[in-house]
Amino acid sequence: MTEDVKMKAAMPWAGPVLCSLAFGLLALSVSAPAHAADQANGKSFVEKFDKLDRSRWYISDGWANGDHQNCTWSAKQVSVADGKLSLGFAKQDYKDRNHVCGEVQTFKRFGYGAFEVRMKAAAGSGLNTGFFSYIGPTHKQPHDEIDFEVLGRDASTVQVNQYVDGKSVGSAKKVAVPGGADKGFHDYAFVWEKDRIAWYVDGKLVEEATDPAKLPSHPSKIYLSLWGSDTLTAWMGPFTEPGAPVAAEIDRVAYTAAGEACQFPESIVCKLKQGTQ
């Protein structure tokens, strides 16, 4: 995902009036403070969405990330029912866009550990379902992130990637999702360590990064989002009007800090400790 997308997504306090100021910050060089790893303030958790915990999740509402995004974040596109979080995308006028879409982000920042989600993505050319970590200039940090993104033009795959100091340094590799990311719930996990990132789909290792120059190092917030674009056609495909509201569903999100015990049986942390991966 492009820098300006992540920049604006990381700004819960910013409305459209501040967009130009925020984007201007991207051009600035932001120096990493000493002991950046010490800035993590998030602890291990398992979120099963029995309710929407407003102390953990901020709901994006009332702005878009830039001209490339054809929807406005809307709190009405975020809901919880039957133990699942729903992030919607629908045709509806809101602010200066004629579509609305949903995103949540954590208030806290998380350091090295296992980041996991069980989700069903939305299909449709021009749509993007994302699970990622991000921190950036608006937090007075360099832009670091680690991604899982399902591009709805081909929901049989998920793309993995990472950014360091605002630059895409990963493979942007597309990985097959057995049965399709939009056809059922699948488990996506990345284990972020000081000297390695490993991505897993349904418990299977699908990609890793070990080059020190290609490893984020700053504690980051966790994001879940569904959005669309009319302009990023080379990456996301031509936008096709869904015709009816669509949604991505999230059954569980978890973070396990490095060195801590496995929190639930299906966790990648359990599988790694059992030596099954």
pLDDT reported for residue 275? 84
Instruction: Provide the β-strand partners of residue 174.
Output: 159
Residue 86 CB neighbours (<10 A): 18
- Residue 164, both tokens: 């360091």
* Residue of 250 and 35 predicted with greater confidence: 250
Question: Is 73 a residue whose pLDDT tops 60?
Answer: yes
Instruction: For residues 83 and 54, give the distance between their C-alpha atoms in angstroms, rounded to a whole number.
Output: 15
Of the candidates 133, 80, 132, 89, the one whose C-alpha atom is nearest the C-alpha of residue 111 is: 133
pLDDT reported for residue 185? 98
Question: Is 15 a residue whose pLDDT tops 90?
Answer: no
Tens digit of each residue's pLDDT (9 = 90 or more) over 82-134: 999 999 999 999 999 999 999 999 999 999 999 999 999 999 999 999 999 99
- Residue 174, both tokens: 């597309």
Of the candidates 206, 169, 45, 219, the one whose C-alpha atom is nearest the C-alpha of residue 116 is: 45
Q: Mind telling me the catalytic residues?
A: 145, 149
CB-count burial class (<10 Å; 0-12, 13-18, 19+) for 75 = middle
Tens digit of each residue's pLDDT (9 = 90 or more) over 172-208: 999 999 999 999 999 999 999 999 999 999 999 999 9
Backbone angles phi, psi at 66, to 5 degrees: 155, 180
Secondary structure letter of residue 119 according to DSSP:
E
Tens digit of each residue's pLDDT (9 = 90 or more) over 158-171: 999 999 999 999 99
* Residue of 107 and 24 predicted with greater confidence: 107
- Is residue 109 within 8 A of residue 41, CB to CB? The reply is yes
Structural domains of the chain in order of their starting residue, each with its CATH number: 44-273 (2.60.120.200)
State the average pLDDT for the chain: 89
Tens digit of each residue's pLDDT (9 = 90 or more) over 230-255: 999 999 999 999 999 999 999 999 99
Instruction: Provide the β-strand partners of residue 257.
Output: 113
Question: Is 27 a residue whose pLDDT tops 50?
Answer: no
Residue 31 CB neighbours (<10 A): 8
* Residue of 23 and 188 predicted with greater confidence: 188
